[in-house]
Amino acid sequence: MRTPRVWIYARVSEPSQRDLIFYQKDLLYGFAEYMNLSIRGFTQEITNGTNFETRGIDDLLVHIRREDFDVLLIYDWTRLTIHLDRYMEIKMFCDQHHIAILTMQDIESRVFLDD
C-alpha cells in the first residue's frame, strides 16, 4: 500500500498574524511526520479568505487537478475560505479528484474517539 501523499495549506487574514502561519505549518507538518505521511507540498498565504482569486488557491487547484496528493491537510475549513458554500465547492472538486480534506478538528475527534 502506498504512503498517503499530503499537501499542507495555511492561511491568515493579516500580515500581523504571520506567526499563526508558522503555528499552522509546524502543527500540520508535525502531524504528517508523526503519521509517516509523504509531504508533497506546502502553500501559505495572507488573504482574507473571501474569494478564490488568490495565488495560493490557484496553486492548490492546479495540484488538485493533477492529483499530486491524496490528502489536503488544513488547520480548519475556514483556512481555505470563510464561506461555507465556497468551502463545499473546493470539497466537491477534491472529491472529484479523489482527494480527502483533513482538518485538525477531524484528527482531534478521531484521537478522542480512539481513547
- Give CA–CA dist 11/60, Å, rounded: 12
List the grid coordinates of 80: 481555505
pLDDT over 60 (residue 114): no
- Structure confidence by residue, pLDDT tens digits, 54-94: 999 999 999 999 999 999 999 999 999 999 999 999 999 99
pLDDT at 110: 66
pLDDT at 112: 47
